[in-house]
Amino acid sequence: QKEVEQNSGPLSVPEGAIASLNCTYSDRGSQSFFWYRQYSGKSPELIMSIYSNGDKEDGRFTAQLNKASQYVSLLIRDSQPSDSATYLCAVNQDSSYKLIFGSGTRLLVRP
Amino acid sequence: NAGVTQTPKFQVLKTGQSMTLQCAQDMNHNSMYWYRQDPGMGLRLIYYSASEGTTDKGEVPNGYNVSRLNKREFSLRLESAAPSQTSVYFCASSDPGLGTEAFFGQGTRLTVV
């Protein structure tokens, strides 16, 4: 079992729709969770971080964390073609400071 | 403020050759990481250094060695390159004790022929 799992996609949504990206992790001791966006040929860049159970909103982005279910999600509202990218879920195992990434979900937003 | 700087950006090696990828950060972060990225595989952790003076294996350490030279610099060495090590390599730094995000270098595209 991979430590951080994501559906590879592609996830295709029409412009203006809500895109929902999901991630599960295996280490119950993890405390820090991140969503990164990566455009083709570029380095990953941070979209959201979340540390507590519940929702965290930042503009069109909402991160959701459920530690009991070991589940993290990212919602993108009013999706735009410029949101088309690969979204990487990352989990920091705080006991070791090891930062593990999922394999990423490719999002395609259709104009 | 450069952030995380990796060198080189591109490299072609012949099978069996050795090389060192350099990484330096100027954000005073305690932790540094080396990842490789292959198509459809996301970022896989090769080695990491939680703090100056420590290094630990990640998910795919075979064929690599690392050195945390000081707080700023973390190098990755390929002793005898193999075609399976053709990949894009990313260095990152963070301060997980403070809950900060990881910042990435621009990547090194390595081809082993």
Q: Render pLDDT for B64-90 as a digit per residue (tens, 0 to 9).
A: 999 998 999 999 999 999 999 999 999
pLDDT of the residue at A25: 95
User: Could you tell me if B91 lies within 8 Å of chain A, comparing CB atoms?
Assistant: no
Distance, C-alpha A93 to centroid of its chain? 16
Would you call A99 and B45 a contact, using CB atoms and an 8 Å cutoff? yes
Q: How far apart, in whole angstroms, are the C-alpha atoms of residue B94 and residue B73?
A: 13
Can you name the residues that pair with B25 across neighbouring β-strands? B4
Would you call A98 and B48 a contact, using CB atoms and an 8 Å cutoff? yes
Residue of B nearest to A104 (CA): B42
Question: How far off is chain B from A78, nearest CA to CA, in Å?
Answer: 25
Question: Read out DSSP for chain A?
Answer: --SEEE----EEEETTSPEEEEEEES-TT--EEEEEEE-TTS--EEEEEE-SSEEEEETTEEEEEETTTTEEEEEESS--GGG-EEEEEEEEETTTTEEEE---EEEEEE-
In sequence order, what E strands does B1-113 have? 4-7, 10-13, 19-25, 31-37, 43-49, 56-57, 64-68, 74-78, 87-94, 103-104, 108-112
pLDDT of the residue at A89: 96
Q: Which of the 8 DSSP states describes residue B101? A: P
Residue of B nearest to A89 (CA): B42
Buried b (16+ CB within 10 A) or exposed e, A52-77: eeeeeeeeebbbbbeeeebebbbbbe
- What's the length of chain A? 111
Would you call B48 and A99 a contact, using CB atoms and an 8 Å cutoff? yes
pLDDT of the residue at B1: 60
pLDDT digits (tens, 9 = 90+) for A64-108: 999 999 999 999 999 999 999 999 999 987 777 888 999 999 999
pLDDT digits (tens, 9 = 90+) for A5-61: 998 889 999 999 999 999 999 988 888 999 999 999 999 999 999 999 999 999 999
Q: Tell me which residue has tokens 């996301």.
A: B42
Identify the three-state secondary structure at position B26. Answer: coil
pLDDT of the residue at A23: 96
Q: How far apart, in whole angstroms, are the C-alpha atoms of residue A86 and residue B4?
A: 21
The identity of residue A22, as a single letter, is N
pLDDT digits (tens, 9 = 90+) for B18-59: 999 999 999 999 999 999 999 877 899 999 999 999 999 999
pLDDT of the residue at B2: 75
Q: How far apart, in whole angstroms, are the C-alpha atoms of residue A30 and residue B36?
A: 22
Count A/B contacts: CB-CB distance under 8 Å.
61
Question: How far off is chain B from A77, nearest CA to CA, in Å?
Answer: 23
| B8 preceded by a cis bond (ω within 30 of 0) | yes
